[in-house]
Amino acid sequence: MPTLTLTDLDSRTRPGDLFHPLDDGKLVCTACGHRCTLKPGQRGVCKIRYNLDGQLLVPYAYTAGVQNDPIEKKPFFHALPGTNALSFGMLGCDFRCAYCQNWFTSQTLRDDRATQNYRPTTPREICDVAIRHGSKTIVSTYNEPLITSEWAVEVFREARSRGLVTGYVSNGHGTPEVLEYVHPWLDLFKIDLKCFDEKKYNLLGGNFQEVLDTIRQVHEMGFWLEIVTLIIPGYNDSDEELNGIAEFLADVSPDIPWHVTAFHPNYKMDLTPATPVETLHRARNIGLSKGLRYVYSGNRPGEVGDSENTFCPGCRAVLIERRGFRVIRNRLGEQGKCPDCGGEIPGRWT
C-alpha cells in the first residue's frame, strides 16, 4: 500500500461540486459548516479541499480504510438490525477532537502520527466487496464524510444501482447545500452530538449552532437519523449538558434514537478515565425523562443491563435483544410493528 504524500493526495482529486464562486478566483466551499473562503492556492480547514487557480479540487478515487462490520457498530440500531455494513473512508476532518476515536485517518495533515496510507479504488470495487461479504449497507465513515461528499455520492450511485442502503457517520457540521447534494443518494445519517456547549465546540474546531441546525434539517429531510454522544468524564457528563442534549433531541423528535456511549482513553486524552457504567445509566435516565423513546447505552457490552435492547414504547415488550454489536433476538418484522400490541417502531427495517 503506497504512502500518501501531499503531492500525491492532491493528484487524487477532481473538480468539486460544493462551492460558490467569488471574484478574483476566490470561492466559498459549502461542504461543511466552516464555509471556507479560499483564495487560489489556499486549503480549507479540512486540509484536503483546496482552490487551484480558481477551481475547487476535492478527494477522489481512493480509500484509507475498508471494513465489514455489524451495522450496530456504526451505531445504527433502527436500521436493518443484525445485518452487515461495509464501511469505507478517506482522509481528513474539519474538526480536531482531542479524543477522536478515528484520529489515525481523520487527523492526516495535522498530526504526523496519523496514517497517510491509501488504496486507489473505484465505486464498483467498493460495492463488489460489500456484495461479496453479504453487506446490505455501505457507510462512509473513518474520516468526516461531509468533506468528501463528492466521492461518497459516486460510491452511493453505484451502491443504489445494486440494491444497497447507504449511510453517513458524521460530526453533523453541515450546510443546507451539502445536505441537498447527498439527499438523493443517502439513506442513513448518524451524527455525533459531542456536547451541548458553544465554547467547547469552538475548541473542537466547529460551530455549535451549525450542528444543531444540521440535526434538525437531517430529520426534516427524511434521512433516518440516530444521534451518538460519547460521554467523557469531567468533560460533557454534567446533568446540565445531558439535559440540554436530551431536551433538544426530544424537541426535534422523541423518536430519534440517542446512543450514550462510554469513552475509553484514547489519542490526546489517554489519561482521562473510562466512563463508569453508572454515568451511562444516569444519561439514559435523563433522556427517557425528557420524553425520548429510544435511549441506548453503548461501549460497555453486557454491563449495562437491558439498555442495549429496543423496547416497544407502548407495551414495553422487548423487540430487539442485543449484546454489544450482536443481535441475539429480533421479534420486529419487516413492517416495523410490535408483534404484541401492533405499535409502529420508527426505523428502516427493510
- In terms of Cα–Cα distance, which of 339, 319, 337, 335 is closest to 327? 319
Q: Is 29 annotated as a binding residue?
A: no
Q: Is 100 annotated as a binding residue?
A: yes
Q: Rounded to the nearest 5 degrees, what angle is found at the Cα of 71, between the Cα atoms of 281 and 33?
A: 80
Q: Is 32 annotated as a binding residue?
A: no
What 3-state class would DSSP assign to 348?
Answer: strand
Contact 37, 28 (CB under 8 A): yes
> From the CB of residue 278, how many other CB atoms can be counted at a distance below 10 Å?
8
The three grid cell numbers given for residue 85, joined into one nine-digit string: 455494513
Task: Give CA–CA dist 278/283, Å, rounded.
Answer: 9
Residue reference for cell 449495562: 304
Tell me which H or E stretch contains 15. strand 13-15
* Torsion (CA) 8, 9, 13, 19 in degrees, nearest 10: -140
Residue reference for cell 462551492: 19
Residue ranges of the binding site for [4Fe-4S] cluster? 93, 97, 100
Residue ranges of the binding site? 93, 97, 100
